[in-house]
Structure 1
Amino acid sequence: MSKGLSGGIDEDQCAQGQGDITTLWDRPEGTCKATLILAHGAGAPMDSDFMQQMAQRLAARGVAVVRFEFAYMAARREDGKKRPPNPQARLLEHWRAVYAQVRQQVAGPLAIGGKSMGGRMASLLADELEADALVCLGYPFHAIGKADKPRVAHLADLRTPTLIVQGERDPMGDRHTVAGYVLSGAITLHWLVSGDHDLKPLKVSGYTHEQHLDAAADAVAGFLSR
């Protein structure tokens, strides 16, 4: 695998799996409470700054994190050319293959989730895969500027225990807009004050991005420990 798009991948973290699936692991030094397969968003790779920081924070809190890349992003890593995400059916098939591979490698609770699009794709499969939990960071409840076309129908009947960590001013689902949606009782929403889609707050909020990332990691680790 070539070096990461955002500064390089630690080769010690990489493990070549079955077929073309490459996974990137961050493991706790001590007891592992749970394992989380964390998918990237539409525009950034598995080793983006956001993904790196979340994985490292979660590992420090006892959660093993497994990252992977969808086919379009893996192709971009090889030639540097930007591509749109693969069709949804292909993204879901990739998710199924990754889950099957990781499920064979770990014991104990196995959760799935991701940043933005990666989390939304996971939410479409969580019940089917019988994942132990679902974690979404910055869920895209709707496309930017299209709050009248929500992507939430499947969330009303979701059975998998779910945590969504969301910034209050996320342009793809702010606190006021999301309050109007019908969501399953299995879903817990954790709001971060003044946070955007990357959980970054406004300076006037009194919070820093680092504090919000720490709060997100605390929420996820606590949720997966239950």
Structure 2
Amino acid sequence: MTEGTVREWRADGIHGVVHEPAGAPVATAVLAHGAGSNCDAAVLVAVATELADRGVLTARIDLPFRQARPKGPPNRAGAAADRAGIAAAVRALGARGPVIVGGHSYGGRQASMLLAEDPGIADALLALSYPLHPPTKPDTLRTEHFPAIAAPTVIVHGSRDTFATGDELREHTALIGGAVTIVTIEGAGHDLAPARKPTARLTADAVMTALVANT
């Protein structure tokens, strides 16, 4: 089998890495990183590589806040700009097959909010370690926009993640209008341990079954 290619991607206001499959793409995905990371986060690299091997054209992008400064967390006031950055990447990459937006932690949350605000931007959502609430603050939920998400959704969750328990995820993702698939990575924390766990394979299995095949 001919291998796909991996290339740096720079465009107006966009920086990231594109994983192109060997053949014609069966779907397109744009993935964003967490609050303390960038597009080279281990979990994004692993998932993007696996998705491209399955035929999904996948871009892992630096959000605008990370393009502005190499370190430090996002500013709440800049969240709308980060969502706009995901939307710009989707439009610039071009849709080939169903379009999936998502990412890890903060990136997945912003992608979910973008999809709630603009349902036409993508066909599906992939949230890796969705930060349902801050650690030790289970009542501070980040679910207000869930009812506005009508697209099929895959959530990949570490069984030791302090940002949500499995039971909490199952309870609160019931608010999402589209079909929800929860993939649990046993023994993994918020980082999803892609080097030690079958995170990428299990994520890609769920994406191909629940998102690509059904959209």
TM-score range, shorter chain: 0.7 to 0.9
Residue 173 (structure 2) pairs with residue 198 (structure 1):
no
Q: Which residue of 2 aligns with 1:147?
A: 138
Over 3 Å off, 4+ runs: none
Q: Which residue of 1 aligns with 2:201?
A: 214
- Which among 199, 211, 214 is matched to residue 224 of structure 1? 211
Q: Distance in 1 between matches of 2:170 and 2:22?
A: 39
Q: Distance in 2 between matches of 1:212 and 1:49?
A: 11
What letter is aligned with 2:164? G
SS in 2 for 1:121: helix
Range with bigger deviation, 191-200 or 54-63: 191-200
What letter is aligned with 1:83? G
Q: Which residue of 2 aligns with 1:3?
A: none
Larger Rg: 1
Q: Would the aligned equivalents of 2:20 and 2:58 in 1 still touch at CA under 8 Å?
A: yes
Q: Which residue of 2 aligns with 1:164?
A: 155
Percent of aligned pairs with the same residue? 34
TM-score between the two structures when normalised by the length of structure 2:
0.84
SS in 2 for 1:26: strand
Aligned ranges 1:44-193 → 2 under 5 Å: 44-77=37-70, 82-86=71-75, 87-102=78-93, 105-127=94-116, 128-130=118-120, 131-181=122-172, 182-186=174-178, 187-193=180-186
Q: Which residue of 2 aligns with 1:8?
A: none
Q: Would the aligned equivalents of 1:36 and 1:111 in 2 still touch at CA under 8 Å?
A: yes
Q: Would the aligned equivalents of 2:43 and 2:193 in 1 still touch at CA under 8 Å?
A: no
TM-score between the two structures when normalised by the length of structure 1:
0.81
Q: Would the aligned equivalents of 2:157 and 2:182 in 1 still touch at CA under 8 Å?
A: yes
Q: Which residue of 2 aligns with 1:23?
A: 16
Q: Which runs of 5+ in 2 are unaligned?
A: none
Aligned residue pairs, count: 203
Q: Which runs of 5+ in 1 are unaligned?
A: 1-10, 202-207
- The offset of 1:129, in angstroms, is 4.2
- The offset of 1:12, in angstroms, is 5.9
Q: CA RMSD in A?
A: 2.2
Change (3 A) 1:55 1:12: closer
What letter is aligned with 2:103? G
Q: Distance in 2 between matches of 1:24 and 1:97?
A: 15
Q: Deviations over 1:151-180 (max 9, x none)?
A: 012113421111111122211111132233
Q: Would the aligned equivalents of 1:32 and 1:62 in 2 still touch at CA under 8 Å?
A: yes
